[in-house]
Amino acid sequence: MVNASTWDGVTLRSSYHDRVIEARDELADAARDGNWPAVFDLLEEHPDWINGARVGGTSGYTPLHQAAWHGADADIAHRLIARGAWRTLRTAQGEQAAAIAARLGHHHLLEPLTPVVHHHVPAETLASIQLHFHALIHERADDLITEHQLRLPELEPLTEQRNPACWFPVPGMYGGFGYRLEQSRLTVESWCRVAGGSGRRHVINEHGTQLIAEGFV
Q: Same structural domain for residues 18 and 88?
A: yes
58, 91, 113: which is the final residue of a domain? 113
- If we measure between CA atoms, which residue out of 69, 202, 70 comes closest to residue 133? 202
pLDDT at 1: 38
Q: Is residue 148 part of a domain?
A: yes
Q: Same structural domain for residues 27 and 106?
A: yes
**What CATH number does the domain containing 66 carry?**
1.25.40.20
Q: Across the strands, what pairs with 191?
A: 176
Q: Same structural domain for residues 98 and 150?
A: no
From first to last of its 217 residues, the chain has per-residue pLDDT tens of: 334 599 999 999 999 999 999 999 999 999 999 999 999 999 999 999 999 999 999 999 999 999 999 999 999 999 999 999 999 999 999 999 999 999 999 999 999 999 999 999 999 999 999 999 999 999 999 999 999 999 999 999 999 999 999 999 999 999 999 999 999 999 999 999 988 899 999 999 999 999 999 999 8
Q: Same structural domain for residues 153 and 187?
A: yes
Q: Same structural domain for residues 131 and 211?
A: yes
pLDDT at 182: 94
pLDDT at 4: 54
Q: Is residue 86 part of a domain?
A: yes
pLDDT at 217: 85
Put residue 176 in one of left, alpha, beta given phi > 0 → left and psi -120 to 50 → alpha: left
**Residue 140, φ and ψ in degrees, nearest 5:** -90, -30
Could you list the residue range(s) of the whole structural domain that residue 71 is in? 13-113
What stretches of the chain adopt beta strand conformation (E)?
Answer: 165-170, 175-182, 185-192, 199-205, 208-216
